[in-house]
Amino acid sequence: MMITTSSIELYKEYRSCIQRIADIKNASAVLQWDQETYLPQKGAFFRGQQIATLTEIAHELVTGRKYADILQELVSRNDLPEKELRNVQLSWEEYTRQNKLNSRFVRAMSETVSKSFHAWIEARKENSFAVFEKELEELVVFKKEEASMIGYKHHPYEALMDEFEKGCTVAFLDKTFNNLRPPLKNLLDKIGGKQERDDSFLYLHYPKQQQWDFGIEIIKQLGFDFEAGRQDISEHPFTTSFNSNDVRITTRINENDFSSMLWGCIHETGHALYEQGLPESEYGLPLGSYTSLGIHESQSRLWENNVGRSLPFWKHNYTHLQKVFPEQLKEIRLDQFYSAINKVKPSLIRTEADELTYHFHVMIRYELEKLLIEGNLTAHDIPAYWNEQYAKYLDIKVTDDKHGCLQDVHWSHGSFGYFPTYSLGSFYAAQLFAACKKQNPAIYVYMENGETKVLLEWLRKNIHQYGKQYNSNELCEKATGEHLNIQYFLDYALDKYRNIYKF
């Protein structure tokens, strides 16, 4: 197809505009990263104002007439190469979405999110949901308004979910979780009838500095480039990226719980490897961004569970771990350690849950969020509802708010519709890993030798390089040959835990 000179020049203008918008968003992201790592307590008010100002400026640019005219002209011409056209189409979709939200609303939302985040931090310190309740209720009102402004076909929750997992519907999730519950519950019942695995040695005293140093070694082993990123401490582990050459991850360390640091590091490294693998040439453009949060979560869950909790991985790493913590692990055999890190037992904290009961944590949050957005639940009702659901699905009593409905940072960020992507990520992860293993049958042998490069290169080729060129299902089909199929996760889980629990 003949490309006119004017289209080439117009695309360059579009590229300049969208990268300028990305610069502002990333500057705001740096301030948000600092807010969650190093910001002095007294700086909270003005930091919220600074972030709100940048958010408003970015929104005004992305919804501006000049930018819209360029996009509309390029979309109508339809004479660009495939990748360039895809960038324009995705940018037009995002413009259409953002244009439904006025600047007043965007700024007010940003300011409310900043207040909400600091209220959440304070509520966790005081172990009282009541401290967070007012700000959260305000935020829920904003999210309902946002859903109404954006529009939806079947359920208001879908409008919010679309930001994280484009095209995902309540009907699809309801069906997926309904198909998951019976076989997962059956597997949990079989495990529940077996002797509980001892993991008490994971809760001995593990000094902070040794934990940190070991975590850094594992992160390097998995392929994280420290010349293009760093790790810090935060209240809640997270990953943020300002470009593929500046990716930040955080972890938290509990000296009486070795698992907290270890899985936080591996999980966030999975996210970070994806960000570092996105095409640098597409900075600021859709194809320089991740496909969806479901696919993003597939990367973290794949490295955390399919690799980090696998026996081959620890056949290589366990001897060294024993040398780092000789007093804690000298009497613990590899098979005992492997069983301990894969212990299945209902627990209170989602981020520290085993990979089977984890999905009940997600389902509880998913149902709760739907009720909030529908208007059938208020912020005031959350603690009671939360405690009731944990008793119903996991048969455990919630001890306090910090270990209950205050444990996640997501609501304080206004991230309603995010939680379902965690389960979707696990399902995609199992399917992707199965496809990689099929093409590389010796992958576990590589892991036993401390080599994860084969897996990373496969992910770079089949997932990372495409950015947002395809949606989740298209990318999954391209990489594995079929759309999302939860049977891969169920087969993986049954095979793994049947060997651990001997049934």
Q: Answer for the pair 268, 237: CB distance below 8 angstroms, yes or no.
A: yes
Q: Bridge-partner residues for 247, per DSSP? A: 229, 241
Q: What is the DSSP string of 249-283?
A: EEE--BTTBHHHHHHHHHHHHHHHHHHHHS-GGGT
Domain span at residue 45 reads 5-99
Burial of 200 (0-12, 13-18, 19+ CB in 10 A): exposed
User: Do 177 and 50 fall into the same domain?
Assistant: no
Record the tokens describing residue 173, joined without a space. Answer: 């999730």
Q: Which of 99, 130, 162 is the last residue of a domain?
A: 99
Count other Cβ atoms within 10 Å, centred on residue 325. Answer: 19
Half-sphere exposure of 174 (CA within 13 A, CB side): 8
Tell me if 273 sits within 8 A of 222, measured CB to CB: yes
Same domain, 95 and 174: no
Whether 126 maps to a domain, the answer reads no
**Contact (CB, 8 A) for 147 and 373:** yes
Tokens 């244009």 sit on residue: 99
Distances (CA, A) of 377 to 303, 359, 370, 371: 36, 22, 9, 5
Query: Which pairing describes strands 229-233 and 246-251: parallel, antiparallel, or unpaired?
Result: parallel
In a domain, 132, yes or no: no
Sheet with 229-233: list strands edge to edge: 229-233, 246-251, 239-243
Both 189 and 298 in a single domain? yes
First to last CA, the chain: 61
Contact 54, 28 (CB under 8 A): yes
Q: Token pair of 204, please?
A: 């001995």
- Is the same domain home to 89 and 177? no
Count the domains in the chain: 2
Contact 428, 306 (CB under 8 A): no
Neighbours of 61 (CB within 10 A): 17
Residue 440 lies in a domain: yes
Asked if residue 441 and residue 344 are part of one domain, the reply reads: yes
- Determine the Cα–Cα distance for residues 210 and 31; give it in Å rounded to an integer: 30
80 with 178, same domain? no
pTM: 0.89
* 204 and 85 in a common domain: no
Which CATH number belongs to the domain containing residue 311 in this structure?
Answer: 1.10.1370.30
Mind listing the pLDDT tens digit of every residue in the chain (503 residues)? Answer: 455 658 889 999 999 999 999 999 999 999 999 998 989 989 988 998 999 899 989 988 888 888 999 999 999 887 899 999 999 999 999 889 888 998 899 889 989 998 999 999 999 999 999 999 999 999 999 999 999 999 999 999 999 999 999 999 999 999 999 999 999 999 999 999 999 999 999 999 999 999 999 999 999 999 999 999 999 998 878 999 999 999 999 999 999 999 999 999 999 999 999 999 999 999 999 999 999 999 999 999 999 999 999 999 999 999 999 999 999 999 999 999 999 999 999 999 998 899 999 999 999 999 999 999 999 999 999 999 999 999 999 999 999 999 999 999 999 999 999 999 999 999 999 999 999 999 999 999 999 999 999 999 999 999 999 999 999 999 999 999 999 999 999 999 999 999 999 99
Q: Per the domain annotation, does 431 fall within a domain?
A: yes
Residue 59 covered by a domain:
yes
User: Within this chain, do residues 208 and 91 fall inside the same structural domain, yes or no?
Assistant: no
Residues 393 and 491 in one domain: yes
Final residue in a domain of this structure, among 58, 83, 99: 99
- Catalytically annotated residue among 56, 268, 304, 355: 268
- φ, ψ of residue 297 to 5 degrees: the values are -70, -25
Say if 263 falls within a structural domain: yes
What sign results for the dihedral spanned by CA atoms 69, 75, 77, 81? positive
Domain-ending residue, one of 99, 126, 156: 99
- In a domain, residue 150? The reply is no
List the beta bridge partners of residue 239: 249
Query: Any catalytic annotation for residue 268?
Result: yes
**Is position 383 within any domain?**
yes
In order of 24, 461, 462, the CA distances from 457 in angstroms are 32, 6, 9
Same domain, 409 and 315: yes
8 A C-beta contact, residue 151 and residue 160:
no
Please give the distance of CA 202 from its chain centroid, rounded to a whole number. Answer: 25
User: Does one domain contain both 229 and 337?
Assistant: yes
- Examine the domain organization and report whether 416 and 314 are in the same domain: yes
Q: Measuring CA to CA, which residue among 121, 112, 106 is closest to residue 55?
A: 106
